[in-house]
Structure 1
Amino acid sequence: MTFDPFNELAGGSALRFDEGQQDDYCLPVASHSPETERLDYLHDVYKYHAGNVPDEVAKLLSDGNQRRILDVGCGTGKWALEMVEAFPDIHITGVDLYHPPITAFPSNFHFEIHDVTKGQEYADDTFDVVHARDLHAGMPEYHVMLVECIRVLRPGGYLLLKEIEWVPKLLDGGDAEQRFPAICERTFRNALSERFLDPLVGINLESYIDNVPGLVDIQYSRHMVPMTPWSDDPILNYTGQMTRMAMAILGGTIRVMLLDHGEPNPDNRYKAGIEELKDLTGQPIWYFGSIIARKQGELRDSEGTTDQYAEEMMTEEEET
C-alpha cells in the first residue's frame, strides 16, 4: 500500500468525459491508485466467499478445449490474471474504459478499451463464459447489458455475475444507521440515482436475471461479508479486513462525484466515515449477490486454438 486511508484522504479523480459527454461510470479508473487497491481488496472478498468460478465452470475450463471468456469491465485485471494461470487452455478478452495497471499481458489474456454501455463489439455466440462484476456504478441500462452478454455467449455457455448491495447491516442486531450514520448515509446512492444508475442492482439482481430471456439453470446466491475483522473464522476475519480497507478508500474515490451531486463538504463526511471505521463495534456486515446461469442450448467444443484466437484479435486491432 502506498498510503494510509485511515490518516490521509484518498483524493478521488475527476469525472470522466467521453465524446464531449460526461460518461456514466462515476468512480476513478482502475489504474488510478488507490482505486487499484480498493478493487483488488474486493476481488479477494469475492474470491474467498464465492470463488473465482463455480465448480461446473472450472470443470468446463479444464476439459482440454480452447475456451474463450469475456471479462466485462475487467478493472485491474486481477480476476483474469488468476484465471489464465489456473486454466492455461483458456483465452480471456478483458474490456474496460481504460487500460488496467498491467505492464505485461500473458499471451492468453487480451485487453481492449471499450465502453460496454454502448453494446458489445462481438459476434453472436462467441464466448464460452461471460464474467461481469460490479457494473452497477456505470451501467444505466443494466438489463440491456445482460441481454448483450447473453447474445455474445455461445449456446450452453455460462454467465457469471456479482454485484454489491449498498445497504450495511448489523448481524448482532440493532439499527445500523444509528450505530454508524456516516457509513450508512444515502448520499452516494442518491448520487447514483441522479445519474440514472440503479444503486440497488445487487439487491435486485435476481429479478434482473429473471427478466432476461434465453437463460436456463439459473442459480442465485447471497453472500454475507463482515465489514470489519470481528470474526474468529480465518476467512471471515481476512475478508473483514479487506472490506474495512476498501471502505476506507471508497470515501475518497467518490469525492468528486459527491461534489458534482451538490454535496457541500464531502471531506467532512469522508472523515466522519473513517472515524466510524476506526472504532466500529459489534458485527457489521454487508452482502453481495451472485448469479450462475447457462444460455439455452448445448455447448460444443470450441473451434480454433488459443494461439489462433490471439492472432485473430491482434489482426482486428491492427485493422482498426
Structure 2
Amino acid sequence: MSRWPPNRWEEDELVSKTRARVDQGALNLTPSQAETSYQGSMAGTNRHDDDAASSRVSMYSYRSNDRDNMRFVKEVDGRTINALSDQYYLPTDDPEWERLDKQHVAVVLGLGGLYPAKEVVRAVLAQQEGVQKSILDLGCGTGVWAVEMAKEFPWADVVGVDLALCPLEPENVPPNCRFEMDNLNLGLSHYENQFDVVHLRFVGSGLKDFPQRMKDVHATLKPGGVVLWVDVDYSLYFTPEFRYIPFALDANDPVGAWGQRSLAEMRRACTIVGSDIHGMEDALDNGLWNNEQIDPETCKTGSLYLPIGPWATHEDPAITQKLRYIGALMRTDAINGMKSIRPLLSKFWPPEIVDQWAKMAQKENMEMKNSPSMRVRLAWGRKRADGEERAPPLPLRPEPTESSSDDDALSDTDTKPYPFLFIYDSPEVSMEQKLLRNRDKVVSLPPSPSKS
C-alpha cells in the first residue's frame, strides 16, 4: 500500500472543489453534526510535513501504481464528480452534501437512532478495561454519522472513509474521530481485524464485484464485531401495502411513475458503468445467514420505508408529525436526487429527456401521487470467532449508576415505535417479504438510445 499525501497547493485546490459548508440552520442539526476532524491514518502513521499538517487535511490511503495520473474530481454537466471511481457517479459538491445531510436526518428518525441492532451495537462497544473499541464508517459522505458516533462513544476510535474529502469544518471536533480518502473497490486489507463496528450506508451503487467487496468489509471486523449494511432499494413502493410502483413508459402512461422510471434507468446505468448494484440488492435482501464470515445466529434483515412527501398519518399525533417531517425531507431528497443522477443518466439518454423525466417526477412528488415510500434495506450480523462456527459471547455491559446518563437512550430520537420499520428474523421471512413487495415488479425497460 502506497502513501501519497499531495503537496499543499494540491490540497488547497482539492479542498476548494470538494469541501462544502453545511447549512446547519436550515437543517436544525445538532452542533456535533457540523463538526469533523482530519487526523493521521489508522492504517499507518506517516504524517505530512509541518506546513501541510497545519491544514488538518487527512492522510490519503489510495493504492495506485500511477500516482501522477491520479485526479480527484472532474466537472460533468455543471456538477463536481469524483474522478477516482467509475462506479460511483454521484456528485461531490455543496448541493449533494446538503441533500445527504437531510437524508441522514430522515434515516435517523426512521431508525429511531443512528443504527439498527441497538442492543448488539452497544454491547459490542461497551467499555472494557484494556480494550480499545473502534468504529469504521465506509462511504462516510459528509461525516455526520461518524461524528455522531464519536460523540456517543467517546472511548472508541472512529474512522470515516470516502472517495472525497469530508466536507465539514474541523473546529471543535471529537478528538476520537478521523477521516481518510480511500476506494473500497481497491480492497481493505490495511483495515483487517481492526474494528468492532463497521457501518456502510448507501454505498452499494458504487461497488463492483459485490461478493468480494462484502468479503473485504467483513474482514475488517474483529471476531465478534458487528457489520451494519444500510442501503437504498432504488425502487418506490405504494404505501401502506408496500408494493412496487410500476414505472412510466411514455407520456400517455396513466399508471406508471416517472420517479420510478428514473430509478430504474439509474440502476441500468450503474450496471453499464461497472457497478454490481444487482449483486448488492440480492445479497442484502438474502441476508448474511449463509455468509461464511458471519455467525448466522446473529443475523437479521429489515425494511425501513421513508414516505416521500408529507402525506402519511397515524392515530398518534406525535408519530404523524414525525412521518410528515420525514416525508418533507424525503420529498426534497427525491427532487434534488434527480439532479444528482442527471450526469449519470445523461451518459445514456439525451439530457433534454432526462430533464423531462425530472420535471414529471417532481410534479408527482408535489402531488404525492401513489403515496410513495423509499425503502431502505438493512442487514447485519456478527463475525465468527477465529476457527469457530459462532461469534464470541457479547461483552457484558456495565450496570448503570445513578450518576451515569441513561445509556439506553443514547442515539435514540424518541421512544415511540416507527410504524414503517420491519425486522426479519430468518431468511425465510426475508425472502417472503421480498416476493410480496415485488409481486408486481416488471424489470424490462425500453432500449436506451445509442449515443456517440
With the length of structure 2 as denominator, give the TM-score of the two structures.
0.59
The residue aligned with 1:221 is 302
Describe the SS at the equivalent of 1:289. Answer: strand
CA distance in 2, matches of 1:252, 1:234: 28
**Stretch of structure 1 that moved more, 175-184 or 249-258:** 175-184
* One-letter amino acid matched to 1:126: Q
1:28 and 2:91 are equivalent in the alignment:
yes
After TM superposition, give the deviation of residue 66 of structure 1 in Å: 3.1
Task: Give yes or no for contact 2:218–2:293 (8 Å, CA) kept in 1.
Answer: yes
The residue aligned with 1:304 is none
Q: How big is each residue's C-alpha offset from its partner over 1:225-275, in whole Å with a ceiling of 9 and x where there is no partner?
A: 211111232222222111111101111111111111233422222222212
The residue aligned with 1:312 is none
Q: How big is each residue's C-alpha offset from its partner over 1:12-58, in whole Å with a ceiling of 9 and x where there is no partner?
A: 6254333xxx62111012xx111112111221222122231322212
After TM superposition, give the deviation of residue 197 of structure 1 in Å: 1.9
With the length of structure 1 as denominator, give the TM-score of the two structures.
0.82
CA distance in 1, matches of 2:336, 2:78: 9
* One-letter amino acid matched to 2:374: W
The residue aligned with 2:383 is 295
- Partner residue of 1:95 out of 144, 158, 161: 161
1:78 and 2:144 are equivalent in the alignment:
yes
CA distance in 1, matches of 2:191, 2:165: 23
CA distance in 2, matches of 1:24, 1:210: 27
- Partner residue of 1:246 out of 328, 333, 339: 333
After TM superposition, give the deviation of residue 206 of structure 1 in Å: 3.0
Runs of 4+ residues over 6 Å off in structure 1 = none
Task: Give yes or no for contact 1:222–1:289 (8 Å, CA) kept in 2.
Answer: yes
- Partner residue of 1:108 out of 176, 197, 200: 176
The residue aligned with 2:259 is 183
Matched positions, count: 289
Gap change, CA 1:198 and 1:69, over 3 Å in 2: same
Task: Give yes or no for contact 2:124–2:225 (8 Å, CA) kept in 1.
Answer: no
- Partner residue of 2:186 out of 108, 113, 118: 118
The residue aligned with 1:259 is 346
CA distance in 2, matches of 1:195, 1:255: 15
**Stretch of structure 1 that moved more, 221-230 or 50-59:** 50-59
CA distance in 2, matches of 1:184, 1:242: 18
CA distance in 2, matches of 1:231, 1:283: 8
* One-letter amino acid matched to 1:252: K
CA distance in 2, matches of 1:109, 1:145: 24
Gap change, CA 1:46 and 1:202, over 3 Å in 2: farther
Select the structure of larger CA radius of gyration.
2
The residue aligned with 1:38 is 99
Greater RCO (Cα-Cα under 8 Å, separation 6 or more): 1
- Partner residue of 1:169 out of 223, 228, 237: 237
- Partner residue of 1:143 out of 211, 215, 219: 211
Task: Give yes or no for contact 1:73–1:132 (8 Å, CA) kept in 2.
Answer: yes
The residue aligned with 1:308 is none
Describe the SS at the equivalent of 2:205. Answer: helix
After TM superposition, give the deviation of residue 299 of structure 1 in Å: 7.0
Mind listing any 5+ residue stretches in structure 1 that lack a counterpart?
5-10, 302-320
CA distance in 2, matches of 1:113, 1:300: 32
The residue aligned with 1:316 is none
CA distance in 2, matches of 1:204, 1:149: 13
After TM superposition, give the deviation of residue 123 of structure 1 in Å: 4.5
Q: How big is each residue's C-alpha offset from its partner over 1:119-177, in whole Å with a ceiling of 9 and x where there is no partner?
A: 11424311111111111221012221111111111000111110111111212679553
The residue aligned with 2:226 is 158
Task: Give yes or no for contact 1:69–1:90 (8 Å, CA) kept in 2.
Answer: yes
Gap change, CA 1:181 and 1:14, over 3 Å in 2: same
Q: How big is each residue's C-alpha offset from its partner over 1:208-236, in whole Å with a ceiling of 9 and x where there is no partner?
A: 63453110111111122211111232222
Gap change, CA 1:35 and 1:68, over 3 Å in 2: same
The residue aligned with 1:193 is 271
After TM superposition, give the deviation of residue 67 of structure 1 in Å: 0.9
Gap change, CA 1:24 and 1:108, over 3 Å in 2: same
After TM superposition, give the deviation of residue 61 of structure 1 in Å: 2.2
Describe the SS at the equivalent of 1:168. Answer: strand
* One-letter amino acid matched to 2:265: T
CA distance in 1, matches of 2:91, 2:187: 22
Task: Give yes or no for contact 1:67–1:127 (8 Å, CA) kept in 2.
Answer: yes
CA distance in 2, matches of 1:299, 1:118: 32
CA distance in 1, matches of 2:274, 2:197: 28
1:212 and 2:291 are equivalent in the alignment:
yes
Describe the SS at the equivalent of 1:165. Answer: strand
Describe the SS at the equivalent of 2:79. Answer: coil
Identity across matched positions, percent: 26
The residue aligned with 1:314 is none
Mind listing any 5+ residue stretches in structure 2 that lack a counterpart?
1-22, 27-76, 248-253, 314-319, 386-391, 396-452
Task: Give yes or no for contact 2:124–2:226 (8 Å, CA) kept in 1.
Answer: no
